[in-house]
Structure 1
Amino acid sequence: MNLPCPRPHSRLLRPWIALLCVPLLGAGSMATADVVAPHETRWPQPARQTSWPMAVQTAPNFNAPSATHCMRPARMVEVPGGQSAPRAVDEAAPPVGMPRRDRAGDALFEKGARLESRKEIASGSAAPTPAPAPSAPAASAFADERAHGADSKPERQRQEEVVTAGMVDDNANFSDYLQFLRKYAQVPHRERNVRERYLLEVRTPAGIAVPDAEIALRADNGAAMWARTDSAGRAWIHPLAFDPQGSARYQVAARKNGREATAVLARGQKSAVELTLDAPPSPPRAQLDLVFLVDATGSMGDEIGKLRASLRSIADEVARLPSRPDLCFGLVAYRDRGDAFLLRRYDLSNDLAGFQSALDALRADGGGDYPEAMNEAFHDTLHNIDWRGPGATRLVVLLADAPPHLDYGGPQYDEDMMAALGKGIKVFSVGASGLRRQGEYVQRQIAQYTGGSFVFLTYQDARNPASGPGRETVHDVRNYSVQTLDKLIVKLVSDELAKLPAGNG
């Protein structure tokens, strides 16, 4: 049976209408790629399918990563927690991602989210030469702030020398993950139905994985979603997360480097959706964008200290991996409204020395109530970092001991985890000591949906972080191994790069 084919009234609509009108294929069928000139392809646009509290209806921002390099200083951009003006901001740059709203805090966030270096990169004026170290004011900005507010979360003894951690992959143990979601469904969170999932794989005619291929799904009712394949050329698709009505079938399209392939996903099918894309070979050297997204409130001193001390080891070990990746590091530190800053961002940079200086100056302070500004910081990380374009591996390490504020008008983590999948950004969520069940729930949602893993710190006595490193945890996990946190992060990065096809993995 064929889908009904309306007569196109515009030449620009014909390729997408043709995609909607292809004959239905059998479950798990193989689709052959056709050569499609980029200017002839009409990619579906995001629908207005979600809303932010006290804000206009909107949809996640799926604009594709497009930066060509990260050869820039590790320069800081700040969004204040109060009412003062943002620092290092290009007022001429257009706002990215967030609509304007009436609430003062939301307007301030939008203003601060304009990245000064974005204009430079877009114009191509930035020369691809090694970047100098950041200036002293930028590197010392963290240390200059005054103490602001007292964090009500439990104080913990610093364990800067050794921090141990375990890890669970909720996609590999999906039935256990669904059981976890049902068990703790009463905790405050943003609901996205993931109980149905389907594997989508994109390969060349020779069977080689196609990483970072763009994916679009569209239902008969117009609901749509976007994704990018991971290093293994795969993506997990959850139709009910974007189409609560549960359409019977979805048109699937994959594209990369001007090539495109189509197929059909039928609800209930058991086999993977496979698309064949005659994509050109990947670059010989892997490109890795690695951003640390860190809760910098008062109770996070021990984890920040460990990360600060371990970054050089992490960078050196990643650089020595067999793939010899082209590395870029970024940092987004956040606190909460009313603190000295809401968030501070260092864009992706290959200037490791400058980035190390910025991280060395990071101090934990502020906080006040238990939830923090994770929503705003996660949104900023996805949309205001200059992630590199096609072919890059993009990873976020989220280190936090508290959930986001769900009562603020502004970006929400569930919308942005969908945007992360569309941008090909995988999140490894790290639950620090003191993280309660709500925070665990949210962090596991983000990691599972983006294809990442949930990491959690472990101790000799699970309920006493001062007991020192060990194997115990208060989190609802099982069948996990334990390593030091830095070695575990390196392993996660190494495993991701190892999935790349020969030539750049």
Structure 2
Amino acid sequence: MKKSYAFLILLFFALFLSCSEDGSLTEGEGLTDGAFSSESGGSGDTGGSGNGGSDNAGIITAGEWNDLSNWSFWQNLLNQEVADKLTTNWEFNTANRYSFELKDENSLPVVDAVLTIKEGTNVIWSAKTDNLGTAELWIDLKSKNQKTTDISNYSFYLGNQKLSGVKPFSEGINTIKLNSSAPVYSNVDLAFIVDATGSMGDEMNFLKDDLKQVIQKVKAANTNLQISTGTVFYRDIDDEYLVKKSDFTLNLENTLTYINAQSADGGGDFPEAVHTALKTSIDELQWATTAKTRIAFLLLDAPPHEEAQIIDDLHTSIKKAAQKGIKIIPIVASGINKETEFLMRNFSIATNGTYVFITNDSGVGNDHLEPTVGDYDVEILQELMIRLITKYTS
């Protein structure tokens, strides 16, 4: 199913806001910031309660939007005051993007190579190439303004080798070809970070069944890969628990049993302990030192608490994720607002990931916020996740 951009325009017109195909926002009479309100995405009738059985799988629908592949659209959005504020509230500055693509002597992708930006001896940003040989690096990612930075005081490295002639993404991708063959890895780490507060109750059982089938199908279809799975479930302060985890394991049944035992409860206020869940996932799960792929799917319907220390913690976790080569792929459920959408898109941008959003098409759960993106396909969430895992492990 294709969601045409005409639908988006009609939606935003109803909210007195429209978004053009290049990402620019145009004002009309009576314009308000309604489409970019910090209010949640609305509520509606629950589409189904679910009982945790496999009959709940393969029902939820979703779309995907990759801002890194639609960079002009993203930049045009940030040229608009309202959209820019939604990003800089969380102190994300994506104006200094440096993209790399590494190939070996056989023109095959170089996987898990370390690229670093330094100012003197201070590491500003470090990232690992993914299965496609690509990496994204950033200067001044944490900033209250979208601003470009003079790079004359910065140095770029591939491993210990200093690079010359590095250019920003506005001038193209930095393509590097090695004179040797690259190592081949077959191990894959997949983590599932799930908001388990009460507001997720309308979709939790469906999501649990989808996660279980995603894991089973990916394992069955990739017998040549060593796939480890782990999970982190989180709630909020003063709930029954703040965060709980099941570390990476090659034993499929361990992860499936752990997921099946979880339920949605607690919460209360809108924000949740996203920062604690990220810190636990990045710092405490035993991510492989070398791997073909590392992905953290982040399923949620609410933002973190917007406090200075929490913003610092979020940036620390995002920086560590990039350093470890972990792609963060948010999957947002019913109830999110525009601020949460833009924050999650920044998570995926900074870690070379992509953005996934559940849609209303399945009728499951409460109302889902229409994202500020271009054309996208509506897919079954389970199939979309399998497609992304396949893309990033092939």
Structure 2-normalised TM-score? 0.77
Larger radius of gyration: 1
CA contact (8 A) 1:429 1:455 kept: yes
1:375 correspondence with 2:275: yes
- In the alignment, which residue of structure 2 is the partner of 1:396? 296
Residues 297 and 279 from structure 1, CA distance in 2 versus in 1: closer, same or farther, beyond 3 angstroms? farther
Matches within 5 A, 1:22-33: none
Larger helix proportion of the pair: 2
CA shift digits 1:250-309 (9 cap, x unpaired)? 422113xxx8563342558724323344565434x6211110011100010233212221
Q: Deviations over 1:189-214 (max 9, x none)?
A: 32121123222122223322111111
User: Equivalent residue for 2:132?
Assistant: 232
Aligned partner (choices 186, 193, 197) of residue 85 of structure 2: 186
Query: SS where residue 186 of structure 1 aligns?
Result: helix
- In structure 1, what is the Cα distance between the partners aligned to 2:130 and 2:339? 28
Q: CA deviation at 1:383?
A: 0.8
* Counterpart contact for 1:247–1:267, Cα < 8 Å: no
Q: Distance in 2 between matches of 1:337 and 1:195?
A: 34
Query: 2: CA distance between counterparts of 1:268 and 1:304?
Result: 39
| Of 231-240 and 487-496, the range deviating more from structure 2 | 231-240
CA deviation profile, 1:160-195 (whole Å, cap 9, x unmatched): 431100110111111222233444233473212112
Would the aligned equivalents of 2:248 and 2:285 in 1 still touch at CA under 8 Å?
Answer: yes
- Please provide the CA RMSD for this pair: 2.8
Which ranges in structure 2 are unaligned for 5 or more consecutive residues?
1-41, 51-55
> What is the alpha-carbon distance in structure 2 between the residues aligned to residue 293 and residue 439 of structure 1?
16
Asked if 2 retains the 8 angstrom alpha-carbon contact of 1:165 and 1:483, the reply is: yes
In structure 2, C-alpha distance between the alignment counterparts of 1:268 and 1:447, rounded to whole Å = 17
Give the secondary structure class of the aligned counterpart of 1:215: strand
Check conservation: 2:105, 2:180, Cα contact below 8 A: no
Report the counterpart of residue 186 of structure 2 in structure 1.
286
Q: Does 2:157 align with 1:253?
A: yes
User: 1:110-125 to 2 correspondence within 5 Å?
Assistant: none
CA contact (8 A) 1:158 1:301 kept: no
Is 1:415–2:316 an aligned residue pair?
yes
- 1:248–1:267 CA distance, 2 compared to 1 (3 A): farther
Q: Equivalent residue for 2:261? A: 361
Specify whether residues 323 and 194 from structure 1 end up closer, same or farther in structure 2 by C-alpha distance, changes over 3 A only.
farther
The answer to which of 330-339 and 190-199 deviates more is 190-199
Q: Is the 8 A contact 2:243 2:277 kept in 1?
A: yes
The Cα of 1:322 is off from its aligned counterpart by 5.4
Query: In the TM superposition, what whole-angstrom CA distance separates every residue of 1:120-159 from its partner, at most 9, and x where no partner exists?
Result: xxxxxxxxxxxxxxxxxxxxxxxxxxxxxxxxx9585154
Q: Any conservation in 1 of the 2:188–2:291 contact (CA below 8 Å)?
A: no
- Asked whether the 8 Å contact 1:254–1:275 carries over to 2, the reply is no
Residue of structure 1 in register with 2:7 after alignment: none
Conserved 8 A contact 2:216-2:252? no
**How far apart, CA to CA, are the structure 1 residues paired with 2:168 and 2:387?**
35
Q: Which residue of 1 aligns with 2:228?
A: 328
CA contact (8 A) 1:239 1:246 kept: no
Mapped partners of 2:366, 2:125: distance in 1? 45
* Contact in 2 for aligned 1:263/1:275 (Cα 8 Å): no
Mapped to 1, the partners of 2:180 and 2:339 lie a distance apart of 42
Q: Return the letter of the residue paired with 1:217.
A: I
Please give the alpha-carbon distance, in whole angstroms, between the structure 2 residues aligned to 1:291 and 1:232.
20
Could you report, residue by residue, the CA deviation over 1:385-425 in whole angstroms, capped at 9, with x for unpaired residues?
A: 10011133100110000000122745522232122111100
Report sequence identity in percent.
26
SS in 2 for 1:316: helix
Aligned CA distance change for structure 1 residues 223 and 296 (closer, same or farther; 3 Å): same
SS of 1:309's equivalent in the other structure is helix
Q: Secondary structure at the match of 1:417?
A: helix
TM-score by length of 1: 0.61
Displacement of 1:327: 1.0
The structure 1 residue matched to 2:108, chosen from 171, 196, 208, is 208
Aligned partners of 1:338, 1:460: CA distance in 2, in Å?
35
Amino acid at match of 2:386: V
Tell me the equivalent position of 1:163: 60
Asked whether the 8 Å contact 2:127–2:135 carries over to 1, the reply is yes
Query: Matched residue of 1:491: which SS?
Result: helix
Shift of 1:451: 1.1
* Paired position in structure 2 for 1:435: 336
2:189 and 2:293 in contact (8 A); partners too: yes
Whether contact under 8 Å (1:289, 1:327) holds in the other structure is yes
Aligned residue in 2 for 1:426? 327
Range with bigger deviation, 197-206 or 270-279: 270-279
